[in-house]
Amino acid sequence: MGFIRKIITSRPKSEDVFYTDLSKILGFKPKNISHYQKAFVHRSIRVIDKKTGFPINYERLEFLGDAMLSAIIAAHLFHAVPSGDEGYLTQMRSKIVSREHLNELGKDLDLLRFIRSNVILSNFGENVHGNIFEALVGAIYLDRGYAYCQKFIYKRVIAPYVVDILKLEGKITSYKSLFIEWCQKKKKELVFEVYEDSGNDSVKQFSVKLFVDGELIAKGRATSKKKAEEVAAKRAYYALQNEITSG
């Protein structure tokens, strides 16, 4: 860990401060601090691992972190949105792990303060924030395993957007899925009830009632059950918008 120690001690902050600040971000104490130190080494430093002869920088950890984010968020969406088909789940995972979203997360945690680089910070592009966030996730996995990695991703990526997750990039793609997610979070029972369909085959209409904990919240009517449920969910969302958006 000699090369890492040199990198860290060359900074204004001591290694103890790095450890303390990092622990606050993680929500737990690292076991092997060297994994995290590597997560902030930019390739411009040109450090070589004396044991392997390979360059040391955050790019390999970034690759690992990207894979962990994708897998853990996919598993969350699979359980949280039981109505979502493959296309919808793929779309939502893409939004959550979009470069823009990861960049925001990296900025919110101010991860750039830890980076060691020969490049002036002002010359970095926006994507560096998301890159080192992914590298941090990879370091967590190497240091503490899947369970800690999952907890960190849920706390930092998923939990703040349990409702807003379906509004990322300013668009609600499915009010029904949003409502299901919110009800699951609040442990509320959600029921869609078809109470009428009428007309001939070419103009057949379906009517749906939406109940939350046994209380009728909204109704919807459309040419298919799926569309009628979406209409009812949209009306229910606006009926309970203050309660939903307040968390």
Known catalytic residue at 169 = no
Contacts (Cβ under 8 Å, ≥6 apart) of 235? 210, 217, 218, 219, 220
Known catalytic residue at 134 = yes
Instruction: Name the one residue in this structure whose structure tokens are 């300013």.
Output: 170
Half-sphere exposure of 169 (CA within 13 A, CB side): 13
* Phi then psi dihedrals of residue 219, to 5 deg: -125, 155
Nearest to 222 by CA among 238, 203, 235: 203
* Phi then psi dihedrals of residue 103, to 5 deg: -60, -40
Residue type, 19: Y
Annotated catalytic residue within 134, 143, 229, 230: 134
Contacts (Cβ under 8 Å, ≥6 apart) of 101? 95, 130, 168
For residue 41, give the DSSP letter.
Answer: B
What the block records as the tokens of 239 is 């009926």
Annotated catalytic residue within 62, 66, 143, 229: 66
Across 151-246, the runs of DSSP E, i.e. the strands, are 190-198, 205-212, 215-222
Catalytic (active-site) positions: 66, 134
